[in-house]
A and B are shown apart, each in its own frame.
Chain A
């Protein structure tokens, strides 16, 4: 494997970790936020 390719594989691995890591946290926390958003908005009220 070339040095250049090795460097870009490392960059790719870090990017993938960041992406899927943030996705996992956002998924867990987002469920609660979505529930709050819908709870606070009912038809006939200012959303």
Chain B
């Protein structure tokens, strides 16, 4: 199909509506609390809509679509694990309930309350680096999706990336979280319609029987069984389960939804119900990827196969709706992620190099400048960096760089009275080592000695990271109780 006049019209009307709504919402942003956590007034349905819209970008469709294309049905278990992890966090309130009660705006703020300002600086730095590296491939994958679906092909990739970037940066800098809450709701509705359109179009063009035959011929039993699939295996399954619980409670863009809820009880409900949608968030795009395998066969560029399929089978007119849905998904994701990482840089890294915090106005100014700088980084990094393995595994390992150490430092800080500063440093630094080792060394795996080869296995690096972080916290704290006694908290500081 071609991207016709009606499609352009739908896309332009959607973009204009989105920007108008964002600008309108800006007038409600008065101070830092409004800018970063929407005044902490968000109720259940709105919380679920903004959470789903944040965690469902075009990049999500592309990396899950790629997994469906390269691993068949065997990747579907990721959706079930993610759903279980978020639902557990929502039911138990693990970490998020106490964070919301403390009234912090970013996760590293907790480090200063429980440990010290220097721990907050180190924690902020690992969060910022892991987060920005994680986001580094978003723009490229969004560009691949949009240029393929709209029929422009790979030659339009750079232009698509630049246009996307300009739109989302302007959108984020104008408002902040309050604007995001308002616009995310609209994005959530539009992206859901886009997903429905794509799913129905696929069901009309590719039969389940064709998909089953394609997966069996391409992968045999490994197309259905994650434990024998070469991309996954036991280490991957355990890593993703741990990662799901840690990311569910500590991934800043998601956690900010809990922190902006009107109460700790609402935060728990938001996580639980959002968790139930997360199986579909993963499995529906993987289903599209499997359909691309059945339609094209193997041998297509892995990330571009699913978008190419949608570009071919979605009828003109509906294609505009699909692109609007994908733009909606991306704008809400970018705005929340850009805001999360830039506010961490402003409040938890730059401000922590000083004794006192910056005034609100300065923090907001730094946050806006950081947003623009991160945006430029995304463009350069996206064009230059070649991801190892699948995009999903790259995102998981960069996320793990932060969440493994954070899980050790925050969980122990909340639930273990003996956790001290040394343990927190140990957890944050050791947690980052294995993923950083993987990212630095995987390109030179052929020249590494045999005993170091394990670090170039993304699944081992990811799982190892959690064990090292836990070890750092436990050993670091237990061996230094006398020289670095745990901080005594006031009643207001107790999580």
Contact = CB atoms under 8 A, between A and B. Distances in A.
Nearest to A8: B73
B112 interface: no
Contacts of A25: 45
Contacts of A40: 41
Contacts of B83: 15
A7 B287 CA distance: 13
A17 to B, nearest CB: 8
Interface in B3-49: 27-31, 33-34, 38-39, 41-46, 48-49
A16 B280 contact: yes
Given A30-B45, A47-B31, A12 B277 contact: no
Contacts of B221: 4
B216 interface: yes
Interface of B: 27-31, 33-34, 38-39, 41-46, 48-49, 52, 73, 76, 79-80, 83, 178, 181-182, 185, 188-189, 192, 195-196, 199, 208-209, 211-212, 215-216, 221, 223-225, 273, 276-277, 279-284, 287
Contacts of A23: 52, 188-189, 192, 277
Classify the interface of chain B: helix, strand, loop or mixed: helix
Interface in A21-47: 22-23, 25-27, 29-30, 33-34, 36-38, 40-47
A2 B277 CA distance: 27
B273 A22 contact: yes
A13 B32 CA distance: 42
B284 A27 contact: no
Contacts of B178: 41, 47
A7 B239 CA distance: 24
A43 B181 CA distance: 17
Contacts of A19: 192, 195, 277, 279-281, 284
B185 A41 contact: no
15 contacts: A1-B208, A5-B73, A15-B83, A15-B284, A20-B196, A23-B52, A27-B189, A27-B192, A33-B45, A34-B185, A36-B43, A40-B41, A41-B178, A47-B30, A47-B38
A34 B188 CA distance: 13
Contacts of A16: 199, 280, 283-284
B199 A47 contact: no
A14 B34 CA distance: 37
A46 B45 CA distance: 22
A33 B43 contact: yes
Interface residues of A, number: 36
B30 A18 contact: no
Nearest to A9: B208
B283 A38 contact: no
Contacts of B208: 1, 5, 9
Given A37-B181, A38-B182, A11 B80 contact: yes
Given A27-B49, A46-B33, 9 more contacts: A6-B212, A20-B280, A22-B277, A23-B277, A29-B45, A33-B43, A41-B34, A43-B27, A46-B31
Contacts of A2: 212, 215-216, 224
9 tightest A-B CB contacts, nearest first: A19-B280, A4-B224, A47-B39, A5-B212, A47-B34, A8-B73, A15-B279, A29-B45, A30-B45
A47 B41 contact: yes
B28 A43 contact: yes
B29 A47 contact: yes
B49 A26 contact: yes
B27 A15 contact: no
Contact of A37 (B46, B76, B189): B46
B175 to A, nearest CB: 12
B76 to A, nearest CB: 5
Given A12-B76, A15-B283, A46-B39, A33 B46 contact: yes
Contacts of A26: 45, 48-49, 52, 188
Contact of A41 (B39, B44, B209, B283): B39
A14 to B, nearest CB: 8
A34 B43 CA distance: 9
Nearest to B221: A4
Nearest to A44: B30
Contacts of B216: 2, 5
A4 B326 CA distance: 31
A37 B76 CA distance: 37
B275 to A, nearest CB: 10
A5 B188 CA distance: 30
Contacts of A20: 192, 195-196, 280
A8 B224 contact: yes
Contacts of A14: 279
Contact of A38 (B28, B30, B225, B276): B28
Given A11-B283, A15-B279, A46 B30 contact: yes
A30 B46 contact: yes
B283 A43 contact: no
